[in-house]
Amino acid sequence: MRRQDTSATFTSAGPNAQLMSIGVCYFPEHWPSERWERDVEQMAEAGIEYVRMAEFSWAVLEPERGEFDFEWLDEAVELIDDHGMKAVLCTPTASPPRWLVDERPDILQRDRDGTVKHAGSRRHYCFNSPAYREETERVVREMADHYADDPRVVGWQTDNEYGCHGTADCYCEDCADAFRDWLDERYADADELNEAWGTTFWSQQYDAIEDVDVPKPTPAQDHPSYALDFRRFTSDSIIEYNRLQTDLLEEYNDDWFVTHNFMNLFPSIDIYEMGEDLDLVSWDSYPTGHVQEAGESSHDELRAGNPDLLSFNHDVYRSILGKPFWVMEQQPGDVNWPPHSAQPAEGAMRLWAHHATAHGADAVVYFRWRRCLEAQEQYHAGLRKQDGSADRGYHDAQTAAGELLEIEKGGSGDDSLESTDAPVAILNDYENIWAIAGQEHAPDFDYWALLQSFYRPLRARGVSVDIVHPESDLEEYEAVVAPALHLLTADLADHLTEYAESGGQLLFGPRTGVKDEYNKFRPAPQPGPLAELVGATVDQHESAPEHLETTVAPVDGDGADDDLPYRTWAEWLNPTEAEPILEYTSEGVTAGKTAAVRNTVGDGTVVYCGVQPEADLGDELIGALLERAEIPHAATLPDGVRATVRDGVTWLCNFTSNEVTVEGEGGQTDEESIDWRLGGPELEPFDLAVAAGDVIDGLSVSVHRGD
């Protein structure tokens, strides 16, 4: 069973390290060396403590095979140390140099149709290429050996954003061979594979495992069991490649921390498994870009992002190891890659640093130091402009650094803040994403959106949330939400039953208990092994387009005013032991059918909701869950305004263009009722305040909208 160490406070740079730090990504190889000292001086003046370097520098470090040049990087590391900062280095494997591609073209990836992904940008290598693994070991060993005894280097980032630009998947011959080897370890022979997958459908049987190939263009969709195993293989390939690097770095200096910078809601890697090889988890946060990836954005979201989308990522990455994480790339201003390059709101870069810290970040590292003069990222801002003058983000970073230092000094008494203590867990399993992919049965079905429909009302009440693997130890949580456990084993069903029987409050969402671990239906109704725990089975399911009215209402409701909208997915439930609590009120065949049930199990309660809730329904479900679990919480906060507690300190963050007033329990806002460490009860647009103590219980916020 996977477990998190939720008690540790991670210190990445030794016992004297300051937590809650600000850092920056720096590319000295892009600039004349005469500029470096002034750059580093200005970093120190801003309160920066960590400088990340070298992730795309292979061609500079090794301009030709075997001829390594560390002089420039040594000089940069020395300057950073001279000004009281620490260096975080990166292995440069995300961008193999052209001379290496010319020598060993077999390292390149291929698309599903066999098209080669050539050099000319980045991430142009195959994770399963034996040649590239040899080259990776060679360059990582050279770097690790060079800095093995250098205390100025405190940690490493492996590679950069595994899988970015659609590079998680590769379909070359090396991958085909590796996939067959992976299948050989999983299945005794082709007969066992055929039985596990169910290949008699459409005459898809294999005579030997050697006959299985990587996915190719086909007239119809891939076999879902085959597709799931290929996704598992892809994730394992990336994890194995990363482990090659982490093992090498640990071999040379086990005092270094080793991390990798993950991305927004990235679905292609089982990050819980990969996290087992990391000392520290980090991710890259670009709020105004991520919100555009999620769909249509409001004015405020284009200026500051969506706080719930950001915090969902923070909570995912914090929960992998159950301890503080880093934001390894923080948006510094406008960025080049989303559809629209909106300028962030005044103070947004400061707001993001505080918001991340509140959710458990010990360092926020801005990307990048200075806007570059050439190549693909010219339209990506830095803390400094291309002429070296301060940009908007520099002042925000400088302000945040000073404020976080003062807040930290007033923490729990040891000059540091521990990680977030969350009373609620949401269960997340990447295999469920892979299993549903290709069989969504609704063009707008989105796994992440389903999870966030339960997450958002928790955060709107100021409740901290861990987002953990289903096999995690759940005993510490007062309530657990399981929105989409599509694949379900008997062991996992027993694990969840034990949690509920011992007094846990459990809330299931739709598409739970649908299939076995091979992505096949069971000869039993959904939710399969959970049927007894839930006290109901699923009779029918359907997906509905957006233009149709889809509503449910409480079974004991008074009328049409009780209607609560849902979207995309709906299941008709047949209660066996459970009590119906929601029924369909939409006209037609669904009318009067049961949509949700509640069952008492041992000392706990289990609710199964068969629909994806819209905001009001999600709020009702979560409100009832918190009441049953007796979890203290705020009054429902306005959209864009969020409260978060970390180690006895409460952050109030306003992601809106409105002024807001924060009120404690009983409507009190004065200094006697709330000890404001930073700011006060009146928050300006895109502003924040920090209070001593946990002031969440009974907290409320009023909004003052402009004309």
Residue whose tokens read 């370097």: 53
**Mean predicted confidence (pLDDT) in 94-117:** 96
pLDDT tens digits along 464-487: 999 999 999 999 999 999 999 999
Question: What's the pLDDT score for residue 547?
Answer: 86
pLDDT tens digits along 433-454: 999 998 999 999 999 999 999 9
Phi, psi of 177 (to 5 degrees): -65, -45
Q: Which one from 55, 161, 301, 403 is the annotated catalytic residue?
A: 161
Q: How far apart are CA 504 and CA 427, in angstroms?
A: 14
Question: What's the pLDDT score for residue 42?
Answer: 97
Q: Which one from 49, 62, 301, 329 is the annotated catalytic residue?
A: 329
Q: What is the mean pLDDT of the chain?
A: 93
CATH superfamily of 424-629: Class I glutamine amidotransferase (GATase) domain (3.40.50.880)
Report whether pLDDT(633) > 90.
Answer: yes
Question: What's the pLDDT score for residue 8?
Answer: 35
Identity of the amino acid at 155: G
Question: What's the pLDDT score for residue 12?
Answer: 42
**Mean predicted confidence (pLDDT) in 115-141:** 95
**Mean predicted confidence (pLDDT) in 553-567:** 85
Q: How far apart are CA 22 and CA 405, in angstroms?
A: 10
* pLDDT tier at 5, thresholds 50, 70, 90: very low
Phi, psi of 319 (to 5 degrees): -75, -15
- Reported as type and span, the H/E element at residue 352 is helix 348-358
Q: How far apart are CA 393 and CA 347, in angstroms?
A: 8
pLDDT tens digits along 325-344: 999 999 999 998 888 889 99
Better-scored residue on pLDDT, 300 or 377: 300
Question: What's the pLDDT score for residue 671?
Answer: 63
* pLDDT tier at 411, thresholds 50, 70, 90: low
CATH 3.20.20.80 residue spans of the chain = 21-167+236-409
**Mean predicted confidence (pLDDT) in 390-396:** 96
Residue 31: how many CB atoms within 10 A of its CB? 16
pLDDT tens digits along 637-662: 999 999 999 999 999 999 999 999 99
Pairing, β 465-468 against β 424-427:
parallel
SS3 of 638-690: CCCEEEEEECCEEEEEECCCCEEEEECHHHCCCCCCCCEEECCCEECCCCEEE
- Reported as type and span, the H/E element at residue 355 is helix 348-358
Residue whose tokens read 């329990």: 665
**Mean predicted confidence (pLDDT) in 124-140:** 98
Sign of CA pseudo-dihedral 492, 497, 498, 504 = positive
The reply to whether 250 belongs to the active site is: no
DSSP 8-state class, residue 2: -
DSSP 8-state class, residue 438: T
Concatenated DSSP letters of 90-140: E--TTS--HHHHHH-GGGS-B-TTS-B--SSSS--S-TT-HHHHHHHHHHH
CATH 3.40.50.880 residue spans of the chain = 424-629
**Mean predicted confidence (pLDDT) in 416-436:** 91
Partners of residue 682 on adjacent β-strands: 661
* pLDDT tier at 1, thresholds 50, 70, 90: very low
Better-scored residue on pLDDT, 670 or 592: 592
Partners of residue 374 on adjacent β-strands: none
pLDDT tens digits along 486-509: 999 999 999 999 999 999 999 999
Is the peptide bond between 339 and the residue preceding it cis, with omega within 30 degrees of 0?
no
CATH superfamily of 21-167+236-409: Glycosidases (3.20.20.80)
- Angle at the Cα of 614 (from 610 to 616), degrees rounded to 5? 110
Give the long-range contacts of residues 212-218, CB within 8 A, separation 24 or more.
212/179, 212/180, 212/183, 213/176, 213/179, 214/112, 214/171, 214/172, 214/175, 214/176, 214/179, 215/112, 215/171, 216/112, 216/113, 216/171, 217/112, 217/113
Report whether pLDDT(13) > 60.
Answer: no
Euclidean distance between the first and final Cα of the chain, in Å?
A: 55
Percent of the chain with pLDDT over 90: 86
Question: Could you tell me the two tokens for 661?
Answer: 């007033």
Question: What's the pLDDT score for residue 361?
Answer: 97
**Mean predicted confidence (pLDDT) in 38-67:** 97
Question: What's the pLDDT score for residue 16?
Answer: 38
Question: What's the pLDDT score for residue 9?
Answer: 37
Helices and strands (H and E) in the chain: how many: 19, 27
**Mean predicted confidence (pLDDT) in 66-83:** 98
The reply to whether 45 belongs to the active site is: no
Residue burial 275-292, b: 16+ Cβ < 10 Å; e: rest: bebbbbbbbbbbbbbbbb
Burial bucket for residue 438 (CB in 10 Å: 0-12, 13-18, 19+): middle
